Amino acid sequence: MIDQLWEWIAIAVGILVVLGGALLGLVRGRGGKTKDAPRTPAPTGTTDTEVLPGVGDDATEPRDAPKRSVEDVGGGVDTLPAPQTLPEPEVAPSVERPDSAQGRLTRLRARLSRSNSALGQGLLALLSRGRLDEAAWEEVEDTLIASDLGVEATTELVDSLRARVKVEGTTDEATVRGWLREDLLRLVDPGMDRAVASSRVGERPAVVLVVGVNGTGKTTTVGKLARVLVAEDKDVVLGAADTFRAAAADQLETWGARVGVPTVRSDRDGADPAAVAFDAVKAGMEMEADVVLVDTAGRLHNKVGLMDELGKVKRVIEKQSPIDEVLLVLDATTGQNGLRQAEVFAQVVDVTGIVLTKLDGTAKGGIVVSVQRKLGVPVKLVGLGEGPDDLAPFDPEAFVDALLD
């Protein structure tokens, strides 16, 4: 009986051991599927060659498990840093290379001839009539005076033409055109030196002072002149000594930047223009520039105080450098009033050359002759339009030919 009891106990213990082992295995198996150890986010820059978090003694994967890419790790993509947008590289402002100024007046002659038809074609029409009586010659004189040629030059031209017609006995248009061209060219005087100072003088740059009344396009002319000189491979410095017009310095600086030319200016409106001009010339010396172009404020020729100030600008500049050129900018449409302006400016700053702007449109070509005679200085530059390269060195022959086209 006792032996049978021990047999039953042994059987029960065996059953319990079997059941316990099975239960333990079941618990372990379910724990590996439903309770994964939390994974730490992949560190920035994780690649498929790095050991992933959770692989080791306490993980469900053996240590020699295949390494996986970030995309294979749940949530790994979300841990990567957002792509960074690189700043756009700074692009240097483009610098223009102006066309050569040689031959500009010839290229623009069609525009010039249209604006001076009264002096050219109108005069030829009168002279080519079959019979030139006193009334016809008076009409010729009126045409020339209306073209701002001036009384003295008109008398000379008419006397010369009358003598030729009388001697030759002809009014053939081709012949008269040849006579008129010769006489006009003589009046324009091709022998005058029309070069603008633009080369270094010894150890210093040439200094050019630009003056004129309000509204003549003075600052624009300085900017266009810089383009003419850059096209000749000159090193130019601009001086913004027009400190009264708020936008003048900005305007000049923009012109200079387009061709890579530095501008010396004041940081405040109403600064002393003489001081700015002085600083510009000093900067030109330090930079070893070829030429310094100094823009000045427009001023009425009948305002004594403003004209005295212009004289001061000239004197201050001359404390450190002689002034090699004083260019007076005149509006070609102002006629005889422009001549009066020119006389006053010449008394204050010793004008050495004339720039005639707005010679296109309604301008009268005779102003070239009359202003040269009045001041005894040459027209050196002419403006024939709104374009940046519409400022041309004055060529007497091209000018006269354009008048007669």
Determine the 3-state secondary structure of 86 from DSSP.
coil
Within a domain: 36: no
Same domain, 253 and 181: no
Q: Are 333 and 357 in contact (CB under 8 A)?
A: no
Residue with more model confidence, 14 or 155:
155
Same domain, 216 and 248: yes
214 is in an annotated binding site: yes
Res 403: pLDDT: 79
Same domain, 224 and 344: yes
25 is in an annotated binding site: no
Same domain, 293 and 253: yes
219 is in an annotated binding site: yes
Within a domain: 30: no
Q: For residue 181, give the nearest of 119, 137, 131 by alpha carbon.
A: 119
DSSP 104-135: HHHHTHHHHHHHTTTTTHHHHHHHTSS---HH
Same domain, 181 and 292: no
Model confidence pLDDT, tens digit, residues 79-100: 445 545 555 544 445 778 777 7
- CATH number, position 288: 3.40.50.300
Same domain, 119 and 158: yes
Res 6: pLDDT: 62
Within a domain: 213: yes
Within a domain: 120: yes
218 is in an annotated binding site: yes
Same domain, 226 and 114: no
Q: Which of 102-106, 172-176, 254-258, 277-281 has the lowest mean pLDDT?
A: 102-106
Residue with more model confidence, 338 or 90:
338
Q: Has residue 30 got a pLDDT over 70?
A: no
Residue with more model confidence, 346 or 289:
289
Q: Has residue 273 got a pLDDT over 70?
A: yes
Residue with more model confidence, 74 or 366:
366
34 is in an annotated binding site: no
Residue with more model confidence, 8 or 247:
247
Which of 159, 188, 217 is at the close of a domain? 188
- 313 contact partners, CB below 8 Å, separation of at least 6: 209, 241, 273, 274, 277, 294, 296
C-alpha distances out from residue 307 to 121, 147, 159, 280, 341, Å: 40, 30, 40, 21, 11
- CATH number, position 116: 1.20.120.140
Return left, alpha or beta for 245; rule: phi > 0 is left, psi -120 to 50 is alpha, else beta. Answer: beta
| 3-state helix, strand and coil shares in percent for the chain, rounded to the nearest 5 | 45, 10, 40
Q: How many domains does the chain have?
A: 2
The boundaries of the domain holding residue 137 are 104-188
Model confidence pLDDT, tens digit, residues 280-322: 999 999 999 999 999 998 776 566 677 888 889 999 999 999 9
298 is in an annotated binding site: yes
Model confidence pLDDT, tens digit, residues 179-203: 888 999 999 999 999 999 999 999 9
Percent of the chain with pLDDT strictly greater than 90 = 34
Residue given tokens 């003589």 in the structure block = 186
49 is in an annotated binding site: no
337 is in an annotated binding site: no
216 is in an annotated binding site: yes
Same domain, 132 and 259: no
Q: Which of 149-158, 200-209, 271-280 has the lowest mean pLDDT?
A: 149-158
Q: Has residue 391 got a pLDDT over 80?
A: yes
Model confidence pLDDT, tens digit, residues 120-176: 667 777 777 767 788 888 888 888 888 888 889 999 999 998 898 888 888 787 888
Within a domain: 149: yes
Same domain, 304 and 253: yes
299 is in an annotated binding site: yes
Q: Has residue 75 got a pLDDT over 60?
A: no
Same domain, 286 and 387: yes
Same domain, 229 and 355: yes
Within a domain: 119: yes
Residue with more model confidence, 396 or 84:
396
Within a domain: 198: no
Same domain, 213 and 278: yes
Structure tokens at 301: 């020729």
75 is in an annotated binding site: no
297 is in an annotated binding site: yes
Within a domain: 168: yes
